[in-house]
Structure 1
Amino acid sequence: MKNIKVLGTGCAKCKNTITLINQVAEQLGVQINLEKIEDLPQIMAYGVMSTPAVVVNEQVVHKGSMPSREQIESWIKE
């Protein structure tokens, strides 16, 4: 099971990223553990300065914008 974290302070793009990740995982029939991190010190601990950011299995894979459906599929399928 993939552990995915969305880092962000609660902006619309952060919320939409969470929704999109859930939708893609559901469509692929893959179970994921999805967590939302809003605490700034925790976000900065990942070296992220622009959000939303996505962390998959403790590796930052995306930051600064909403990821595409194709990107999310590739993270979940790996």
Structure 2
Amino acid sequence: MKTVKVYGPGCKRCETVATMVRDAAAKLDIEIELEKVSDAKSIAMAGVMSTPGLAIDGKLVHAGGLPREDAVELWLKG
């Protein structure tokens, strides 16, 4: 199981990233545990300078804007 965290204040882009991750995981048949982190201190401590941020298994893989769908799939496979 992959542990996924979406960092952000809960904006539309943050919700879109969460949906992208869920859809990619379902497509790849990968089980995930998704957590949304909206606390500003926790976001900063994770090293996210621009939201939304995305971490998979403790590694920050993206910050700021929307990632490409193929990139999300690649990160989940890794």
TM-score above 0.5, yes or no: yes
Unaligned runs of 5+ residues in structure 1 are none
Query: If the length of structure 1 is used for normalisation, what is the TM-score?
Result: 0.95
The one-letter amino acid paired with 1:11 is C
- Using the TM superposition, give the Cα deviation of residue 68 of structure 1 relative to its aligned residue in structure 2, in angstroms: 1.0
- Using the TM superposition, give the Cα deviation of residue 57 of structure 1 relative to its aligned residue in structure 2, in angstroms: 1.1
Percent identity of paired positions between Structure 1 and Structure 2: 38
- Using the TM superposition, give the Cα deviation of residue 65 of structure 1 relative to its aligned residue in structure 2, in angstroms: 1.1
Aligned residue for 1:52?
A: 52
Aligned length: 78
How do residues 1-78 of structure 1 correspond to structure 2 at under 5 angstroms?
1-78=1-78
SS of the counterpart of 2:44? helix
Unaligned runs of 5+ residues in structure 2 are none
Which ranges of 4 or more aligned residues in structure 1 deviate by more than 6 Å?
none
Query: If the length of structure 2 is used for normalisation, what is the TM-score?
Result: 0.95
RMSD of aligned Cα (Å): 0.7
